[in-house]
Structure 1
Amino acid sequence: MNRSKILGLAAIGVAAVAASGCTSIREPRGYIVDAALVQSVQPGIDNEQSVAGTLGRPTFESQYGEKTWYYVSSTTERKPFVRPRIEEHSVLAVKFDQTGNVVSAERTGMDRVVNLSPDGATTPTLGRERTFLEDLFGNIGAVGAPGVGGQGPG
Structure 2
Amino acid sequence: MAGLSKAKLGLAVLVLCAVSACAAVYRNHGYVPSEEELAEIVVGVDSRATVDDVIGEPSAGGLLQGGDYYYVRSRVRHFGMLEPQVVERQVLAISFDSNDVVQNIERFGLEDGRIVPLARRVTSSSVEGKGFLRQLLGNLGNFDPTSIFNQE
For the superposition of Structure 1 and Structure 2, which TM-score range results when normalised by the shorter chain? 0.5 to 0.7
Q: Where is the helix percentage greater, Structure 1 or Structure 2?
A: 2
The structure-2 alpha-carbon separation of the partners of 1:85 and 1:43, relative to structure 1 and needing over 3 Å to count, comes to same
The structure-2 alpha-carbon separation of the partners of 1:16 and 1:39, relative to structure 1 and needing over 3 Å to count, comes to farther
Is the CA contact 2:92–2:108 (under 8 Å) kept in the aligned structure 1?
yes
- In structure 1, the residue matched to 2:132 is none
Q: Secondary structure of the residue that 2:49 maps to in structure 1?
A: helix
Q: Which amino acid aligns with 1:78?
A: H
Q: Secondary structure of the residue that 1:56 maps to in structure 2?
A: coil
Is the CA contact 1:59–1:69 (under 8 Å) kept in the aligned structure 2?
no
Q: Distance in 1 between matches of 2:43 and 2:106?
A: 10
The reply to whether residue 17 of structure 1 matches residue 41 of structure 2 is no
Q: Percent identity among equivalent residues? A: 24
Q: Which amino acid aligns with 2:81?
A: F
Taking structure 2 as the reference length, the TM-score comes to 0.61
The structure-2 alpha-carbon separation of the partners of 1:40 and 1:88, relative to structure 1 and needing over 3 Å to count, comes to farther
- In structure 2, the residue matched to 1:27 is 27
The structure-2 alpha-carbon separation of the partners of 1:27 and 1:54, relative to structure 1 and needing over 3 Å to count, comes to same
* Residues 100-111 of structure 1: pairs in structure 2 closer than 5 A: 100-111=100-111
Q: Which amino acid aligns with 1:97?
A: D
Matched positions, count: 112
Task: Return the offset for 1:33.
Answer: 4.0
Q: Distance in 1 between matches of 2:32 and 2:93?
A: 15
- In structure 1, the residue matched to 2:87 is 87
For the aligned residue pairs, the C-alpha RMSD in angstroms reads 2.6
Q: Distance in 2 between matches of 1:44 and 1:32?
A: 21
Taking structure 1 as the reference length, the TM-score comes to 0.61
| Larger of the two Rg values belongs to structure | 1
Structure 2 alignment gaps of length 5 or more: 115-152
Is the CA contact 2:41–2:51 (under 8 Å) kept in the aligned structure 1?
yes
Q: Secondary structure of the residue that 2:58 maps to in structure 1?
A: coil
Task: Return the offset for 1:31.
Answer: 2.3
Is the CA contact 1:33–1:73 (under 8 Å) kept in the aligned structure 2?
no
Structure 1 alignment gaps of length 5 or more: 115-154
- In structure 2, the residue matched to 1:69 is 69
The structure-2 alpha-carbon separation of the partners of 1:39 and 1:28, relative to structure 1 and needing over 3 Å to count, comes to farther
Task: Return the offset for 1:11.
Answer: 1.2
